[in-house]
Structure 1
Amino acid sequence: MFKMFQNLRNHIPYVCTLIVLIFAQIICDLYLPTLMSSIINNGIMEENIPYILRFGGVMLFVSGFGIICAVIASFLSAHVSADLGSVLRSRVFRCVESLSLHEFDNFGASTLTTRTTNDIIQIQTFTILMLNMMLRAPLTAVGGIILAYRQDKGLTVIFAMAFPVLVALIAIVMGTAMPAFKHVQTKLDKVNLVMAENLKGILVIRAFNRIDHENRRFDYANSDLTATYIKANQIMSFLLPGFMLAINAIVLFILWFGSIRVNTGEMNIGALTAFLQYAVLIFSNFVMFSIMFVFLPRAQTAAQRVSEVLETRQEILEPVIAKIEENLKGVVEFRNVTFRYPGAEQPAISGISFLARPGETTAIIGGTGSGKSTLVGLIPRFYDVSEGKILLDEINVKDMAQKELRVKIGFVPQTAVLFTGTIADNLRYGRKRATNEELEYAAKTAQAADFIAETENGYDTMLSEGGGNLSGGQKQRLSIARALVRHPEIYIFDDSFSALDFKTDAALRAALQKETENATVFIVAQRVGTVMNADRIIVLDNGAVAGMGTHEELIKSCGIYQDIVSSQFSEEEMV
Structure 2
Amino acid sequence: MSGGRPMGGPMGRGMQAPAAKAQNFGPSAKRLLGTLRTDMPRLIVVLVLGVLSVALSVMGPKVLGEGTNIVFAGFISMQVPAGATQQEVVDGLIANGQQEQADMLAAMEFTPGAGIDFDALGGIMIAVLAIYIGASIFGWLQARILNGVVQRAMHRLRMRVEEKIHRLPLSYFDRVQRGELLSRVTNDVDNIGQTMQQTLSQVIVSLLTVVGVMVMMFIISPLLAVIALVTIPLTIAITIVVARRSQKLFVAQWKTTGILNARVEETFSGHAIVKTFGHQEEAERDFRAENEQLYRASFGAQFVSGIIMPAMMFVGNLVYVAIAVVGGIQVAGGLLSIGDVQAFIQYSRQFTQPLSQLGSMANLLQSGVASAERVFELLDEPEQTPDDDPSRTAPEDASDLEFDSVAFRYVDDRPLIEGLSLAARPGSTVAIVGPTGAGKTTLVNLIMRFYDVDGGRITLDGVDTRRMTRDDLRSRTGMVLQDTWLFAGTIRENIAYGRPGATEEEIVDAATAAYVDRFVHALPDGYDTELDDDATNLSVGERQLVTIARAFLADPRILILDEATSSVDTRTELLIQRAMSRLRADRTAFVIAHRLSTIRDADLILVMEDGSIVEQGTHDELLRARGAYFRLYNAQFEAPLEDDSDPDVAPLVAGEPVTSRVPIAAPSEGDPEGGTRM
Q: Provide TM-score, normalisation by structure 1.
A: 0.96
Query: Which residue in 1 is equivalent to 2:50?
Result: 22
8 Å CA contact 2:389, 2:469 repeated in 1? no
Asked if 1:337 is matched to 2:428, the reply is no
Q: Counterparts of 2:409 and 2:278 in 1: how far apart (Å)? A: 38
Cα displacement string for residues 209-257 of structure 1 (whole angstroms, at most 9, x for unaligned residues): 3323322221222122112211111101210000000111111000011
When residues 366 and 574 of structure 1 are mapped into structure 2, their CA distance, relative to the original with a 3 A threshold, is: farther
Letter in 2 for 1:93: E
2:428 to 360, 364, 367: 360
Query: Which residue in 2 is equivalent to 1:487?
Result: 555
Q: Which has the higher helix share?
A: 1
Asked if 1:417 is matched to 2:445, the reply is no
Query: Which residue in 1 is equivalent to 2:572?
Result: 504
Letter in 2 for 1:36: L
Q: Counterparts of 1:354 and 1:558 in 2: how far apart (Å)? A: 22
When residues 32 and 189 of structure 1 are mapped into structure 2, their CA distance, relative to the original with a 3 A threshold, is: same
Letter in 1 for 2:625: S
Q: Counterparts of 2:611 and 2:135 in 1: how far apart (Å)? A: 73
Match of 2:497, SS state, is coil
2:121 to 42, 52, 56: 52
Match of 2:421, SS state, is strand
Q: Counterparts of 1:79 and 1:287 in 2: how far apart (Å)? A: 27
2:139 to 55, 70, 84: 70
Asked if 1:224 is matched to 2:252, the reply is no
8 Å CA contact 2:514, 2:546 repeated in 1? yes
Deviation at residue 426 of structure 1 after TM alignment: 0.5
What are the equivalent positions in structure 2 for 1:258-269 lying under 5 Å apart?
A: 258-269=327-338
Deviation at residue 516 of structure 1 after TM alignment: 2.1
Asked if 1:301 is matched to 2:370, the reply is yes
Query: Which residue in 2 is equivalent to 1:399?
Result: 467
1:36 to 59, 64, 68: 64
1:573 to 664, 670, 674: 664
Cα displacement string for residues 337-374 of structure 1 (whole angstroms, at most 9, x for unaligned residues): 1211135x422322211111221111101111111111
Deviation at residue 72 of structure 1 after TM alignment: 2.2
8 Å CA contact 1:426, 1:482 repeated in 2? yes
Query: Which residue in 1 is equivalent to 2:392?
Result: 323
Asked if 1:200 is matched to 2:297, the reply is no
What are the equivalent positions in structure 2 for 1:158-177 lying under 5 Å apart?
A: 158-177=227-246
8 Å CA contact 2:195, 2:364 repeated in 1? yes
My pick for the range that moved more, 154-163 or 172-181, is: 154-163
Letter in 2 for 1:241: P
Asked if 1:563 is matched to 2:628, the reply is no
What are the equivalent positions in structure 2 for 1:427-466 lying under 5 Å apart?
A: 427-466=495-534
Match of 2:309, SS state, is helix
Q: Counterparts of 2:134 and 2:572 in 1: how far apart (Å)? A: 76
Q: Counterparts of 1:63 and 1:165 in 2: how far apart (Å)? A: 31
Match of 1:454, SS state, is coil
8 Å CA contact 1:359, 1:517 repeated in 2? yes
Query: Which residue in 1 is equivalent to 2:189?
Result: 120
Match of 1:465, SS state, is coil
Q: Counterparts of 2:187 and 2:222 in 1: how far apart (Å)? A: 49
Q: Counterparts of 2:385 and 2:211 in 1: how far apart (Å)? A: 53
2:308 to 217, 227, 239: 239
8 Å CA contact 2:179, 2:266 repeated in 1? no
Letter in 2 for 1:382: F
Query: Which residue in 2 is equivalent to 1:521?
Result: 589
Unaligned runs of 5+ in 1: none
8 Å CA contact 1:538, 1:548 repeated in 2? yes
Q: Counterparts of 2:461 and 2:39 in 1: how far apart (Å)? A: 47
Asked if 1:389 is matched to 2:417, the reply is no
What is the aligned-residue identity percentage?
29
8 Å CA contact 2:53, 2:138 repeated in 1? yes
Q: Counterparts of 1:431 and 1:11 in 2: how far apart (Å)? A: 39
Asked if 1:476 is matched to 2:544, the reply is yes
Asked if 1:144 is matched to 2:172, the reply is no
My pick for the range that moved more, 287-296 or 36-45, is: 36-45
Deviation at residue 574 of structure 1 after TM alignment: 4.1
When residues 19 and 190 of structure 1 are mapped into structure 2, their CA distance, relative to the original with a 3 A threshold, is: same
When residues 278 and 320 of structure 1 are mapped into structure 2, their CA distance, relative to the original with a 3 A threshold, is: farther
Deviation at residue 86 of structure 1 after TM alignment: 2.3
8 Å CA contact 1:366, 1:540 repeated in 2? yes
Match of 1:500, SS state, is coil
Cα displacement string for residues 243-289 of structure 1 (whole angstroms, at most 9, x for unaligned residues): 00011111100001111111111111111112112111121111222
Query: Which residue in 1 is equivalent to 2:10?
Result: none
When residues 565 and 107 of structure 1 are mapped into structure 2, their CA distance, relative to the original with a 3 A threshold, is: closer
My pick for the range that moved more, 549-558 or 488-497, is: 549-558
8 Å CA contact 1:43, 1:51 repeated in 2? no
Larger Cα Rg: Structure 1 or Structure 2?
Answer: 2
Q: Counterparts of 1:124 and 1:173 in 2: how far apart (Å)? A: 24
Letter in 1 for 2:330: R
My pick for the range that moved more, 254-263 or 150-159, is: 150-159
Cα displacement string for residues 425-456 of structure 1 (whole angstroms, at most 9, x for unaligned residues): 11011111111111111122222221112222
Letter in 1 for 2:496: R
Query: Which residue in 2 is equivalent to 1:191?
Result: 260
My pick for the range that moved more, 474-483 or 6-15, is: 6-15
Asked if 1:553 is matched to 2:621, the reply is yes
Cα displacement string for residues 69-111 of structure 1 (whole angstroms, at most 9, x for unaligned residues): 2122222222222222222222212212321121123332112
When residues 355 and 308 of structure 1 are mapped into structure 2, their CA distance, relative to the original with a 3 A threshold, is: same
Q: Counterparts of 1:5 and 1:303 in 2: how far apart (Å)? A: 10
8 Å CA contact 2:195, 2:365 repeated in 1? yes
8 Å CA contact 1:126, 1:292 repeated in 2? no
Match of 1:567, SS state, is helix
Match of 1:346, SS state, is coil
Deviation at residue 148 of structure 1 after TM alignment: 0.8
8 Å CA contact 2:389, 2:468 repeated in 1? no
My pick for the range that moved more, 550-559 or 190-199, is: 550-559
Cα displacement string for residues 433-482 of structure 1 (whole angstroms, at most 9, x for unaligned residues): 11111111112222222111222221111112222122222121111111
Query: Which residue in 1 is equivalent to 2:610?
Result: 542
My pick for the range that moved more, 132-141 or 47-56, is: 132-141
The Cα RMSD (Å) is 1.7
Match of 2:281, SS state, is helix
Q: Counterparts of 1:350 and 1:478 in 2: how far apart (Å)? A: 36
Letter in 2 for 1:305: R
Q: Counterparts of 1:129 and 1:289 in 2: how far apart (Å)? A: 12
8 Å CA contact 2:494, 2:550 repeated in 1? yes
8 Å CA contact 2:199, 2:365 repeated in 1? no
Letter in 2 for 1:3: R
Match of 1:184, SS state, is helix
Q: Counterparts of 2:623 and 2:547 in 1: how far apart (Å)? A: 32
Deviation at residue 2 of structure 1 after TM alignment: 2.7
My pick for the range that moved more, 303-312 or 156-165, is: 156-165
Asked if 1:11 is matched to 2:39, the reply is yes
Q: Counterparts of 1:134 and 1:318 in 2: how far apart (Å)? A: 45
8 Å CA contact 2:514, 2:549 repeated in 1? yes
Q: Counterparts of 1:307 and 1:416 in 2: how far apart (Å)? A: 32
My pick for the range that moved more, 345-354 or 238-247, is: 345-354
When residues 60 and 320 of structure 1 are mapped into structure 2, their CA distance, relative to the original with a 3 A threshold, is: farther
Match of 2:521, SS state, is helix
Deviation at residue 558 of structure 1 after TM alignment: 5.3
Deviation at residue 199 of structure 1 after TM alignment: 1.0
